[in-house]
Amino acid sequence: MLKSLRSNSPTFKRVYFREGYNIILADRRSQTDEDDRKKTRNGAGKSTLVEIIHFCLGARVERGSIFKSKELEGWSFILEFSVGGLDFEIERCVDAPNKIILHRFPPQLGWDAKTDRDSRLRHVALATFNDEMRALFFGLPKIGPDHAPSFRELISYYARRNIDGYRDAFEFWKNQPVHSRQACNAYFLGLNMEFASKFQKLREEAKNIDDYRKAVASGVVGAVVLDVGKLETEVINRKADAEHMRKQLESFRVHPQYNEIADEANDLTEQIHQASNTLVLRQQFLSRYEQSMEEEVADVSTDELQRVYEEAGVVFPDGVKVRLGEVVNFHKALLSNRRDYLQSEIARLRGEIAYLRENIEKLTEARAKSLQILESHGALEEYAKLQERYSKLVQLHEDAQKRKEAAMQIEERKSKNKIETQELLLLARRDYAERISARERAVSLFREYTEFLYQEPGILTIEIKDTGYNFGVEIRSAKSQGVNYMKVFCYDMLIAELGASRNCHPDFLVHDSTIFDGVDERQIALALTLASRKCEKVGFQYICLMNSDTIPKREFDGRFMATFEDSVVLRLDDSTDTGGLLGIRF
Tell me the residue type at 515. I
7-43 per-position pLDDT tens digit: 999 999 999 999 999 999 998 654 444 454 444 434 6
Q: What is the pLDDT at residue 333? A: 75
Number of separate helices (H) and strands (E) present in the chain: 15, 13
Phi and psi torsions of 567, nearest 5°: -90, -5
**Angle at 67 (CA atoms; ends 65, 70), nearest 5 degrees:** 110
Whether residue 149 has pLDDT greater than 70: yes
Highest mean pLDDT (candidates 144-153, 180-189, 336-345): 180-189
Contacts of 237 by beta carbon, 8 Å cutoff, 6+ apart: none
Q: What is the pLDDT at residue 221? A: 45
CA atoms 84, 191, 51, 95: torsion sign? positive
**Predicted confidence band at 108 (pLDDT cuts at 50, 70, 90)?**
confident
Cα–Cα dist 54/60, whole Å? 9
- Parallel, antiparallel, or unpaired for β 21-27 and 568-573? parallel
Q: What is the pLDDT at residue 146? A: 63
CB 146 within 8 A of CB 179: no
- Residue 419, CB-side half-sphere exposure with 13 Å CA sphere: 6
**Angle at 344 (CA atoms; ends 340, 345), nearest 5 degrees:** 115
CB 82 within 8 A of CB 3: yes
Q: Delimit the domains of the chain by residue range.
A: 1-139+568-586, 255-377
CB 505 within 8 A of CB 187: no
Whether residue 156 has pLDDT greater than 90: yes
- Closest by CA position to 149, among listed 128, 133, 167: 133
Cα–Cα dist 104/125, whole Å? 16
Cα–Cα dist 6/209, whole Å? 52
Cα–Cα dist 81/290, whole Å? 136
301: left (phi over 0), alpha (psi -120 to 50) or beta: beta
Which of 276-285, 304-313, 480-489 bottoms out in mean pLDDT, i.e. has the lowest? Answer: 304-313
Contacts of 55 by beta carbon, 8 Å cutoff, 6+ apart: 61, 67, 77, 92, 97
Considering the domain delimited by 1-139+568-586, tell me its CATH architecture.
Answer: 3-Layer(aba) Sandwich (3.40)
User: What is the chain's Cα-based Rg?
Assistant: 55
CB 42 within 8 A of CB 163: no
Cα–Cα dist 358/364, whole Å? 10
Average pLDDT score over residue span 141-168: 87
21 Cα distance to chain centroid: 49
Whether residue 122 has pLDDT greater than 90: yes
CB 15 within 8 A of CB 49: yes
Q: What is the pLDDT at residue 323? A: 64
493 Cα distance to chain centroid: 40
Highest mean pLDDT (candidates 193-207, 274-288, 430-444): 430-444
Distances (CA, A) of 473 to 205, 375, 447, 483: 30, 88, 10, 11
CB 153 within 8 A of CB 60: no
Which comes out higher in pLDDT, residue 332 or 109? 109
Which of 118-127, 152-161, 571-580 bottoms out in mean pLDDT, i.e. has the lowest? Answer: 571-580
- Residue 485, CB-side half-sphere exposure with 13 Å CA sphere: 20
**Predicted confidence band at 285 (pLDDT cuts at 50, 70, 90)?**
confident
pTM (whole model) above 0.85: no
Q: What is the pLDDT at residue 40? A: 44
Angle between helices 436-454 and 521-538 (to 10 degrees): 140
H helices of 57-175, in order, are 126-138, 151-155
210, containing H or E segment: helix 193-218
455-510 per-position pLDDT tens digit: 889 999 999 998 899 999 998 765 677 899 999 999 999 999 999 988 889 999 99
Which comes out higher in pLDDT, residue 567 or 311? 567
Whether residue 296 has pLDDT greater than 70: no
H helices of 435-541, in order, are 436-454, 481-499, 521-538
**Predicted confidence band at 309 (pLDDT cuts at 50, 70, 90)?**
low
CB 464 within 8 A of CB 456: no
Average pLDDT score over residue span 144-167: 89
Q: What is the pLDDT at residue 42? A: 41
Q: Could you give the 3-state DSSP secondary structure of residue 480?
A: coil
CA atoms 281, 287, 293, 295: torsion sign? negative
